[in-house]
Structure 1
Amino acid sequence: MEIYILIGSFVLLLILRFPIALTLIVSSLLTGLYMDVHLASLIQKIVGGLNSFSLLAIPFFILAGEIMNEGGISRRLINFANVIIGKIRGGLAMVNVLASTFFGGISGSALADTSSIGSVMIPMMKKQGYDADYSVAVTVSSSAQGVMIPPSHNMIIFSSAAGGVSVGALFMGGLLPGLLLGFVLMIITYVLAVKRKYPKGEAIDKKEIPKILFDGLLGLFTIVIIMGGILTGMFTVTESAAIGTLYAFIITFFVYRDIKITRMGIILKNTFKVLSMVLFLVGASAAFGHMLALLKVPLLVSELLIGISPSPAVTILMIIIILLLLGMIMDMAPLILIATPILLPVAMEVGMDPVHFGVLLILCLAIGLITPPVGTVLFVGSAIGRLPIEKTSKGLIPFYAAMIVAVLIVAYVPSVSLYLPSVFFK
C-alpha cells in the first residue's frame, strides 16, 4: 500500500501538472504520514541532499554558460567551425553540428545550445536553401551533445544522486560518447545533404581566418582551464568551475566586448532562476529517494527486471527502453534524480560500472529532450524554425535512428565510457 501511495500520488500530481519538485515532496509527505514516519526526518533528508561540496560547482557552471551565451560566443564558434569543415556538401549543416560540439563544452546545456546556435544557424540554413525541418532537426539533435561533453552540471546531479561517484570520472566518461554522438550525427547530416543536394559552404576570406581561429580558441580555452585543472589535480571540480567562470567573465566583457557590463544583472538573474530550480529538485528528490529506500523499491525493481531476463544484455536493453520512454514524458534533471536510485542497483547487478551507467543514463535522457510530447529542446527549436512540432518530429526520424546507434554502442562497448576515466582516474 505504501508503494501505491508513493507512486500513485506522484503520477497523479504529474498528470495534474504540479511542478515536479512539489510533486516529489508532496508524494513523500503523504507516504510518510501513512507510514507514521517522523516528518522531521524527511526535512533532514531534504537539507542533507543539498549538503554536498560537489554541488557547489553547479552555480559556477551555469553562470559561465550564461555569460558566454550572452557574450556572442555562439557566433564566434560558428565561424570557427566554418573554417574547419564548412566547405563540403551540406557544409553549413556540418558547421551546425560542430559548433554545437564546441558550445556544449562551454554551456553544458542542450537548451542554451539550441537557443544560441539555433537562432543564428536555422535562419542562415533556410536562407541558403536547406529545408526548414532539416535545419531544425540538425540543430536540436546536435544540441544533445551539450549534456554529454564536459563540463556538464547534469553529471554533477547524477554524482549526487548516485551517492558520490567521481565527478571528474563522469566528465571524462562522457567525452568520447559525446564526440561519438556528434560523429554519427555528422554522418547522417552529410548523407541527407548529399541525397537532397544541399549547397556547399561558401569560401572564407583567408585574411579573416587567423582572427576567427583566435576568437574561437579564446572561448574554447574555458574548457581547457576547467578540465585541465581537474585532470592535473591542481583544482577540485568546484575550484575549476570558479576559475573557468572568472575566465569566461574576463573574455566576454573585456576581450570580446559585445555586451556591456550592465548586462551582468540579467545574467545573474537567469543563473539564479536556473539554480533555484536545480537545487529545489535535488532537495526534493533526496526525500523521495529516502522513501524509495525505506520501501525497498530499488531492490524490487532489480529483482523484477533480472527475473524477467537473466541475460545482462537484455536487462541493459530494458533499462535503455525505460529511460527513453521516461525521457519522453519528463525533463532531464528530475529524471536523473528519480531514476538513478532505482536503476543504478539493477545496472550494477548485471556488471555495469556506475560511471558507465551514468553516461548511458545521461545519453538516453538527452534524446528525451528532443522527443515529443515533453521535449523542451524540441519546442525551442520548433519555435525558432517556426515549424509545428509534428513536422519537426518527422524531420528528426533519421537523426533519432543515428542517436539510437550511439546509445547501443555506448551501452554494449563499455570502454567507450570507461577508457578515459581509467587513464586519468586510476
Structure 2
Amino acid sequence: MDPLLAAGALFGIFLVLLFLGVPISASILVSAFSTALLILPWTATTYVVGQQMNLGVESFSLLAVPLFILAGNIMNNGGIAQRLIDLALVIAGRVPGSLAHTNVLANMLFGSLSGSAVASAAAIGGTLHERQRAEGYDPAYSTSVNIASASVGLLIPPTTAAIIYATVAGGVSVSALFMAGYVPGILMGLVVMVVAFIVARRRGYRSTQRVTPREALVVLLRAVPSLLLVIVVVGGIIAGAFTATEGAAVAVVYCLVLSFLYRALDREALVQIARRTVSSTGVVMLLIAASSAMAWVMAFTGIPGAITSALLGATSNAILIFALMLVILLIVGMFLDITPAILIFTPIFLPIATDLGMHPVHFGMVLILAMCIGTMTPPVGSVLFVATGVSGTTIESVVPRLIPQVLALVGLLVLITYVPVLSLGIPGMLGLLG
C-alpha cells in the first residue's frame, strides 16, 4: 500500500473520530486497526495489533510512570504542596503580581517533584485562588498564569514525559533528558513570570504580605525536606545509584515518609490516593498501548520514511524544515495529550531531526515543550480545563488573558529549537550525551 494513502487513511479516520467526540485512546486504536485491515486479513490484524499493544506497555522503564503518578498524588495530599507554596510566597516577595509569581514558582517546585501538569494546576491553583481573589486579582488573569506555568513540571525532572520519550526514541539516556530539561524548564517559568509582571504592573497588583527574616528561615527549613526529593531522585539517577524506575520507587517511599511525618495522611486518604493512581495509570497505559499499535502501523506502511523523504525532498534548508515541524507540533498539541503525541510523532519527526543534525536529546526537549504549550490551548488542553474548573472561571474569559503567555512561550520554543546549547549544555558538561 502506498505510504501516503496509508497516512491519509490512518490520520483521516483518527481526526474524524476525534471530532466526533470519541475518546483519544479509542480513536487511535480504531484508526490503527482500520488501516491495518486495508493491508492484512482480519485474523492477522487482530493478532498483530494486540501483540503490539502488549509490547508497548511491556517495558521496565515504563514502571516509572505509575510510580511517579503515585508520588505526585501523595505529595498533593500529604502536606508537601503547601510547604512549597509557602516557600514560593517568601521568594516572590512584594513585587507587582507577587501572588502570580508565587503561582509560577510553586508550579515549578511542585511540578518538578510530581511530574504532572494537571496535578500542579489543581494543587497550586486550588490553594492560591482564593487568596489572589481576596487581594483583588482578576480571576481570569490568575487562572491564565496558573495554566501557563503548570506544565513546567513536564520539563523539569523527574518527569514521566522524558521517560516515555526515551522509551519510544530508543538509545536515548533518561539521565541526559533529565539534565536537558532544567534550562528550558527554568526559562519557561521565567517567561511566564515576565509576562505576568508586565500585566500586574499595569493593573497595580501588589501583595500586602510582610515576612520577617525569621519567618522566612522557618518557611525555608520546613520546605527543605520536600526539596531534597529532587536531589535524592535525580542525583541518584545521574550518579548511577539506581535507574529511573528505581528512582520513582524511591520517590514514593520518600513522599510517604514525609507525609506521615507531617501527619497529613490517614488510611482513608491512602485509599483515595491508590484509586486515583490506578485510574490515572490505566488511562496513560491504554494511551501507550493504543499509540504503540498506531506506531507499528505507521512503520509497517512506511509512513515515517515517506514523510521524511517528502520533507527533505522539498527543501534541504534545516531552518525551514524545523519551522514546519514546530507548526505541526503546535497544531497537534491542540488536539492530543502529551503521551500519545510523543508516542505517535517521535517515530515520524525524530529521523528527520537527526538527519538534519539535531541531537535526539535536543529534539526531545523541543517535542516536550511544544506539547507543554498544547496542554494549555483549546480545544483539548487538559491543563486549561482543570485550571478553569478549579478557579471557577470560564474558558471564554481566560483565553484572552492566556494569549500573551502562549505567544511568549512559542517564542521560547523557537529559541530552544535553534539554540541547541540551551538543551544540551548541562548534559554535555556531565558527559551524558555519549
Instruction: Give the TM-score category using the shorter length.
Output: over 0.9
Tell me what 2:338 maps to: 332
| Contact preservation (8 Å) 2:6, 2:303 | no
Letter in 1 for 2:412: A
Tell me which of 18, 22, 37 is aligned to 1:14.
18
1:209 Cα deviation after fit:
2.7
Structure 1: distance between partners of 2:205 and 2:26: 48
Structure 1: distance between partners of 2:6 and 2:111: 42
Question: Does 2:232 align with 1:228?
Answer: no
1:315 Cα deviation after fit:
0.8
Structure 2: distance between partners of 1:165 and 1:390: 41
Question: Does 2:37 align with 1:33?
Answer: yes
| Contact preservation (8 Å) 1:91, 1:201 | no
Tell me what 2:295 maps to: 289
1:185 Cα deviation after fit:
1.4
Name whichever of 378-387 and 171-180 sits farther off.
378-387
Tell me what 2:55 maps to: 48
Structure 1: distance between partners of 2:410 and 2:28: 30
* Residue ranges of structure 2 left out of the alignment (5+ in a row): none
**For residues 345-390 of structure 1, what are the alpha-carbon distances to aligned partners after superposition, in whole Å with 9 as ceiling and x for unaligned?**
1211221111111111110111111111111211122222222212
Structure 2: distance between partners of 1:201 and 1:294: 62
| Contact preservation (8 Å) 1:173, 1:419 | yes
| Contact preservation (8 Å) 2:95, 2:207 | yes
| TM-score (norm: length of structure 1) | 0.96
Write the mapping of 1:26-425 to structure 2, written as runs, cut at 5 A. 26-36=30-40, 38-39=44-45, 40-253=47-260, 255-424=261-430, 425=432
Cα RMSD over matched residues?
1.6
| Contact preservation (8 Å) 2:94, 2:206 | no
Specify the SS of the correspondent of 1:396: helix
Letter in 2 for 1:93: A
* Aligned CA distance change for structure 1 residues 2 and 399 (closer, same or farther; 3 Å): closer
Letter in 1 for 2:77: E
Structure 2: distance between partners of 1:44 and 1:102: 39
Structure 2: distance between partners of 1:5 and 1:318: 22
1:71 Cα deviation after fit:
1.3
1:194 Cα deviation after fit:
1.5
1:206 Cα deviation after fit:
4.1
| Contact preservation (8 Å) 2:175, 2:238 | yes
Specify the SS of the correspondent of 1:377: helix
| TM-score (norm: length of structure 2) | 0.94
User: Sequence identity of aligned pairs in percent?
Assistant: 39
| Contact preservation (8 Å) 1:90, 1:201 | no
Specify the SS of the correspondent of 1:208: helix
**For residues 136-155 of structure 1, what are the alpha-carbon distances to aligned partners after superposition, in whole Å with 9 as ceiling and x for unaligned?**
11111011201111011111
